[in-house]
Structure 1
C-alpha cells in the first residue's frame, strides 16, 4: 500500500526559496532572480493504471487513414454533460465536436458545426463554458489559425445544439487558451495565451512570452492582449489556478528545455514573478490542473522528463499546491495512458465530476499497428489510487 505521507529528499540551494517573498514585477521590467536548483530525476512513486481498460472510453477512434488529435473538454454546470473538441491530424484542422451525457463514460457521434470551422487549420482547439455578467452561460470553442496565427472563436447559446461560425477575435496566439478565469464577481474574464515576437519588449529579437486579454461581456469580445510573463520556450501553453486560499495565482508553463516553469501572482494577475523551473516530477507538456475534493492538486500532462519511467506517456502528478511553489516533488505520479507513438500525446481535457471522479482526455496512439491516434478518456479517483502499489 502506498503511504500518502511519502516525501523524497531534494537538492536545494542554501537560500530558502519562498515564492511569497519574490518581488512581482511586470514582464517588461523584470530582472533575473536568485538561482533555483531543482531535482533532475523523479524520486516519488509512480502508479500505473494505464492497462486498466475498464477506465477507458473513446471519443473518436483513429483509423489507418484518420489521425484524431489535440482534444479539450468542458463539463457543464449540471455535472454530467461534457463536450469535447479536437483536430483532425496533428495540430490539423478544427471541426470535430462530440457530446457525452454521462460524464464521459460514453460519447455520441459527431455534432453538426458550421463549415468554416474546418478553415481553422494548424490548430489545437480549446472549449470553455463562460458566463457573462448577467448570468447567461455560453459554450465557446477557440482555435488559433496557424502558428502563430489569429485566434478564432465560436459559441453556442443553447447548450451545444447549434453553433455560430468561427469569428476572428482580433488576438494573435500560438495556441488557443487553456485557462479562462473569472474575476470581480463574474464581471471580468481573463484568458492567457503564448506568443513570440517584438510585441512584448519592443525589439526584433524578443523572447517568447505569455499575454492576457480580458472580456467584460462573457467572452463575446476581448481587449487587446497585454504581455505579462516572459518565458523561455516557443510553447508556453499556460495553465492557471488559484491557491487554496484564493490569495495567489499559479501559472504552470511548458518548456522545451527540460524543466517546466512556473510563475505566481499575488495581485490577481496584475503582475507576475519571474518564471522558475519545476522539479523533474512536475515536468511535462500541456499541463491542466484541478483540485481533488480533499484539497490535493492534480496536474495532467505529457511526461517529458527524460529520466522518467513514464517518459512520453500521459500522466498525472498528485501533490499539494505548496509543493509546486516550494520546489518539492509532490506525493506520487500516475501513468494514465500508454503512448505507442513516443511523446505524441498529452494535449488534454480534464474534468472533476461531483462524485470526485477525474475524467482525463487526450489524443494517443492507443494500440500498436496501423491505427493512428484516437481521442481517449480515462477515469480515476484519488482515494482508490492511494491504495495501489507503485511501479517497480
Structure 2
C-alpha cells in the first residue's frame, strides 16, 4: 500500500475505536507533581523594544482593522518567507504576505482561495513540509471555531497558487505550531491541543495534547492520539529535539501558574508527566529554535507574574539542559512593547543563514486609536550579549 493510501485509510477509519478503546491512564498528566520551579526571576533582561531599526511591518493595523495571531515560515533558500495571520482577535483566516529578503520588507496581500475566509475563530500556522519523495509544499493550517475542525491548504509552486482549505479530519483548538520530521523524512508528526473530551462518553475528560502522523508529506493525517494531559484549557505545544536528537521536549502554555514541559525518550510514543518551568520561561504561545552556537532561544508572550516585562513580547535564552533541569537560563530579551496589556505574542520565529533571528508577533505597536499590527524584529545573540541589562 502506498504511503498516501495508508494515510487516507487512517483518515477515513471510524473514530469509534478511539472513542471506546482509549485508556485515559495512558495519557501523561500532572498528578502528584510538586511545583518546585523558581517563582521569581533572577536572570537579566535586555530591552531592544525601542530599537525601531530592527522592526518591519507585515500588516499595519488601522482604526478599523485588527491584525492578529501571525505565523511565519522560512523557505529552504534562506531568504523567502511567508506570513499568515487572522483578522481580529482569533478571527478569520485569509491574509497572506511574502518577503523576498528574510523579513526586511513584505508584499501586499497575496491572492488566496475565497474559502480561506470561511475558517473563523482561528490562529493560523504555516509550515514547509517535504514528502518521502523529496517534494516540498507550503501548508497553511487553520482551526475553525473553538473547538472545531482543523483545515489545511497548500502550495506546490512556492506560494504562487494555493489550494482551497480542506478538512483534515482532525479536531483542534489551535493550528499546529510544530510539525516535525522523523525516520529520514518518511514520517511527519504534528501536535495540537484540545480542551474537550476525547471520548464522547467522557464529559469529565481533562484538556490534553494530541499528536497525529502523516506518511505522505502532510496531504493526509492519521486520527489524533492523546498523549499529554494539561493543567489548563490552552496548551499550544511547542516541540523541539534535544541537541543529540535522542529526546523530545514539549513546552506548554498554562493559564493558572508557570508554563509546563514534558519530554519523550522514544520519539513521541510516550511522554513524561508535565512539570512546571521557572517563571523565567513562563509565557503563552512559545516557539523554540537553536542559535548557531547551540543555545536555545524561545519567544513568547511574557505571562510570569513576577516579571518586569509581564504582558510584552519577549525571548528567553539558555540551553536545552536549562529547560529540562528547571534552571532559569542565561537571560531574557524584551522584543516588543505591548500597548494593549498582554494582547500580543502569537509568534513566528525563524533563523536566517547568517544567524539572524526573525521574530514576528501581533502587537498594538503604539498608543492611540490604531489597532494591532503584525510586526517583525531581528536580532543576533552576539549583539544582545554585549548589551547592558534593564534595571
**What's the counterpart of residue 325 of structure 1?**
324
Distance 1:32 1:157, change over 3 A: same
TM-score, normalised via structure 2 length? 0.92
Q: Deviations over 1:28-57 (max 9, x none)?
A: 376735524111111100000000000000
CA distance in 1, matches of 2:260, 2:30: 16
Where do 1:11-90 residues align within 5 Å?
A: 27-28=26-27, 32-90=31-89
Q: 1:232 to 1:200 in 2, by over 3 A?
A: farther
Deviation at 1:196, TM superposition (A): 1.9
Q: Per the alignment, in what secondary structure is the counterpart of residue 324 of structure 1?
A: helix
Cα displacement string for residues 326-345 of structure 1 (whole angstroms, at most 9, x for unaligned residues)? 01000000000000001000
Equivalence for 1:189: 188
Q: Distance in 2 between matches of 1:123 and 1:30?
A: 27
Q: Is 2:146 the partner of 1:152? A: no
* Counterpart for residue 338 of structure 1: 337
Given the superposition, is the C-alpha separation of residues 284 and 200 from structure 1 closer, same or farther in structure 2, using an over 3 Å criterion? farther
Partner of 1:102: helix, strand, or coil? Answer: coil
Aligned to 1:280: 279
2:30–2:231: 8 Å Cα contact kept in structure 1? no
Distance 2:193 2:27 in 1: 15
**Which shows bigger deviation, 234-243 or 201-210?**
201-210
Q: 1:213 to 1:314 in 2, by over 3 A?
A: same
Aligned length, in residue pairs:
368
RMSD of Structure 2 on Structure 1 (CA) = 1.3
Unaligned runs of 5+ in 2: 1-23
Q: Could you tell me whether the CA contact under 8 Å between 2:28 and 2:273 is conserved in 1? A: no
Residue 323 of structure 2 aligns to a residue whose secondary structure is: helix
Structure 2: distance between partners of 1:34 and 1:217: 39
TM-score normalized by the length of structure 1 = 0.92
Alignment match, 2:251:
252
Cα offsets for 1:280-300 (capped at 9, x unmatched): 000000000000000000000
String of CA shifts for 1:221-250, please: whole Å, max 9, x gaps. Answer: 000000000111111000000000100000
Q: CA deviation at 1:147?
A: 0.6
Question: Which segments of 5 or more consecutive residues in structure 1 lack a partner in the other structure?
Answer: 1-24
Equivalences for residues 1-392 of structure 1 within 5 A: 27-28=26-27, 32-199=31-198, 203-392=202-391
Task: Provide the C-alpha distance between the structure 2 equivalents of 1:366 and 1:226, rounded to a whole number of angstroms.
Answer: 39
